[in-house]
């Protein structure tokens, strides 16, 4: 039975498209947060638009706080897209979703 299960899983991994292609994370710090929490500018110069559901958290974030930016590439409808998670490591690891503007 275990050989059949192992063979099935191996076949499935070969024939199924990978949903998450790659994940990369890097450290940065906050340079500026808009009053509404919708826009965050980082010390690196990158600018992110925060998902509206998460702005309640980000409007409390402060300049100079450290964040971890995680980029995940994913395939959706045949296109590769990048999803960003911003994790505020100075405020207990709160995570928000974002779209990179610059």
In a domain, 9, yes or no: no
11 band by pLDDT with thresholds 50, 70 and 90? very low
Instruction: Report yes or no on 39 lying in a domain.
Output: yes
**Does 7 score more than 60 pLDDT?**
no
Q: Which residue has the higher pLDDT, 72 or 41?
A: 41
Q: Is 65 among the domain residues?
A: yes
Rounded to whole angstroms, the Cα distance separating 44 from 97 reads 18
Q: What is the pLDDT of residues 13-71, one digit of tens each?
A: 444 444 445 689 999 999 999 999 999 999 999 999 999 999 999 999 999 999 999 99
DSSP SS3 for 97: strand
Structure tokens at 16: 């199924």
- Global pTM reads 0.73
* Residue 48, number of CB atoms within 10 A of its CB: 22
Number of Cα atoms under 13 Å in the Cβ half of residue 12 = 7
Task: Give the domain range for residue 32.
Answer: 19-100
CATH of the domain at 34: 2.40.50
The pLDDT value given to residue 98: 93
Tell me, yes or no, whether 10 lies in a domain.
no
């Amino acid at each position: 039975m275990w050989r059949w299960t192992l063979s099935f899983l191996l076949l499935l991994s070969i024939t199924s498209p990978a949903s998450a292609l790659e994940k990369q994370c890097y450290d940065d710090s906050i340079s500026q947060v808009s009053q509404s929490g919708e826009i965050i500018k980082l010390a690196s110069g990158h600018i992110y638009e925060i998902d509206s559901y998460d702005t309640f958290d980000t409007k409390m974030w402060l300049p100079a706080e450290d964040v971890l930016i995680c980029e995940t590439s994913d395939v959706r409808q045949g296109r590769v897209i990048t999803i960003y998670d911003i994790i505020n490591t100075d405020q207990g690891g709160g995570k928000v979703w974002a779209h990179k503007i610059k």
